[in-house]
Amino acid sequence: MGKPTGFLEYNRVSAQMEEPKERIKHFREFKKYLPIEEQQKQGARCMECGVPFCQSGDVLGGMVSGCPLHNLVPETNDLVYTGNWEQAYLRLSKTHSFPEFTARVCPALCEAACTCNLNGEPVGTKENEHAIIETAFERGWVKPQVPKVRTGKKVAVIGSGPSGLAAAQQLNRRGHQVTVFERSDRIGGLLRYGIPNMKLDKAVIDRRVRLMEEEGVVFKTGADVGKDIKAAELQKEFDRIVLCCGASNPRDIKVPGRDAHHIYFAVDFLASVTRSLLDSGLKDHKFVSAKGKHVLVIGGGDTGNDCVGTALRLGAKSVTQLEMMPKAPDTRADSNPWPQWPRVCKTDYGQEEAIAVFGHDPRIYQTTVTEFIKDEKGDVQKAKTVKLESKRDEKTGRMNMVPVKGSEEVIDAQLVLIAAGFLGSQKYVTDAFKVSVDERTNVATKPEGYETGIPGIFAAGDMHRGQSLVVWAIREGRKAAEEVDASLMGYSNL
């Protein structure tokens, strides 16, 4: 695939990014992608490696290696190299519902598993994917796929994040009548309000939603199932129901002073900014302001990084990010060989921007908060922190992060953003449908399947597997749709 000697002839060249101090002045996407001719050379780098781990999606060393969607990466890279863009789009669309989303926000599991990593840099598959789908939209190849025959079956999808959209798309194209219920004011779920605009421009979501509407999918916003709409009513009206409500319970920090003002969960902070940006370009000021404040972000990962980048764009005076775990190594450890997912330190766009503005990395590792200090008005002003070290529990034998005596510090914190992950599905939804949950409050389903213990009710995405990646949510939605279709028709050709 590609050019057999391409990886020797062409170096990896990636999209250029706007300079950090310039891009923090706006909320637009800031990548400057390669001209289409240059992108074709990147497709040429895909070597005939024999075993394409890039498309495997297998668990190696406890983490997934390669694409969970099983995109046929060498084929699409070859089609990019030869300039056969329409065929590249058709090939990619056979396994992928929304390349325009993952081409922007996926951590590129395919690239981490690329054989070129052994002696150089991986093929730029993620940017090849971006070029494929954007070229397809530009040239009018992405058209509504309206089913020629309707089955007469009705399916309700609860939640319009990536798993809900993927399930809805697939089931509608099969000919079922699909209605998507979204409790928020706009469609997109995590894509809309959990990912900042500079990573995923919301016009990209709107473009896809319009296509799905033209295909026949019905979207209902402001519809909070389990509160405004009773589950029993939907069970009477629809033949099948797919729960795609996400892992919506944020993990809290329960320490003295937690009741202080200006302490928010990261998702609420990010959502407030995006909503105000979409409603008024931030002119309505209906968002959590970071202007002139010392901002403390608790938690690493993508969400913590997004909080850093967003706070900088809002004019934060300083940004500090706490991570409980030790800093990952800068290069692969011997115990973490290719093609396992590389457990290495990643400096993302938000941290890059903080370094450019303040002159140092905002992250402080092996540290947690023990108390929030507030003023007479109840506003948070400072946070007490303590260093952590890894010690083995004598009773259980497990390694735990424990406080280091004498390492306490006090840092400024006038706005605190908790990005400590999520704990699973929300109780009022699972109670409404009477579905069982596991110890992590993820919805329990049949082994290796998506149907819950309640006949006709299925679950997919983060609500099913726990907090994960957009690419996993899309896979879950597609696989759940296949199972729903088979339950309705006796077989599935999805």
Determine the Cα–Cα distance for residues 354 and 490; give it in Å rounded to an integer.
Answer: 55
pLDDT at 183 over 80: yes
Under 8 Å between Cβ of 154 and 177? yes
Q: How confident is the model at residue 248, as a pLDDT?
A: 86
Determine the Cα–Cα distance for residues 63 and 56; give it in Å rounded to an integer.
Answer: 12
Under 8 Å between Cβ of 166 and 98? yes
Determine the Cα–Cα distance for residues 169 and 211; give it in Å rounded to an integer.
Answer: 10
**Minimal CA–CA distance to 245: which of 431, 418, 68?**
431
**Minimal CA–CA distance to 125: which of 138, 113, 108, 137?**
108
Q: How far is CA 59 from CA 56, 66, 172, 341, in A?
A: 9, 9, 31, 9
pLDDT, mean of residues 392-409? 91
Under 8 Å between Cβ of 123 and 111? yes
The strand pair at 240-243 and 154-158 is best described as: parallel
Under 8 Å between Cβ of 246 and 466? no
pLDDT tens-digit readout, 471-484:
999 999 999 999 99
**Minimal CA–CA distance to 52: which of 141, 117, 144?**
117
pLDDT at 463 over 90: yes
DSSP code at position 404 = P
pLDDT tens-digit readout, 422-457:
988 999 999 999 999 998 899 999 999 999 999 999
**Minimal CA–CA distance to 234: which of 457, 436, 462, 426?**
457
pLDDT at 293 over 80: yes
CA dihedral defined by 60, 88, 39, 124, rounded to 10 degrees? 0
pLDDT tens-digit readout, 324-371:
999 999 999 999 999 999 999 999 999 999 999 999 999 999 999 999
Under 8 Å between Cβ of 76 and 54? no
Cα angle for residues 319, 325, 329 (degrees, 5° grid): 95
Task: State the pLDDT confidence band at 46, using cuts at 50, 70 and 90.
Answer: very high
Determine the Cα–Cα distance for residues 315 and 351; give it in Å rounded to an integer.
Answer: 15
pLDDT, mean of residues 210-234? 97
Q: How confident is the model at residue 432, as a pLDDT?
A: 97
Residue 325 phi, psi dihedral angles, 5° rounding: -85, 160
3-state secondary structure (DSSP) of residue 174:
helix
pLDDT tens-digit readout, 88-142:
999 999 999 999 999 999 999 999 999 999 989 999 999 999 999 999 999 999 9
pLDDT at 385 over 70: yes
pLDDT, mean of residues 260-278? 98
Verify cis geometry, omega within 30 degrees of 0, for the bond prior to 339: yes
Q: How confident is the model at residue 328, as a pLDDT?
A: 96
Determine the Cα–Cα distance for residues 383 and 368; give it in Å rounded to an integer.
Answer: 10
Give DSSP secondary structure letters for 102-115. HHHH---HHHHT-G
pLDDT at 1 over 70: no
Q: How confident is the model at residue 381, as a pLDDT?
A: 98
Q: How confident is the model at residue 395, as a pLDDT?
A: 85
Task: State the pLDDT confidence band at 280, using cuts at 50, 70 and 90.
Answer: very high
- The pTM for the full model equals 0.96
Task: State the pLDDT confidence band at 396, using cuts at 50, 70 and 90.
Answer: confident
Under 8 Å between Cβ of 398 and 382? no
AA letter at 263: I
Under 8 Å between Cβ of 53 and 113? yes
Residue 396 phi, psi dihedral angles, 5° rounding: -95, -20
pLDDT tens-digit readout, 53-98:
999 999 999 899 999 999 999 999 999 999 999 999 999 999 999 9
The residue ranking higher by pLDDT, 23 or 397, is 23
Under 8 Å between Cβ of 282 and 315? no
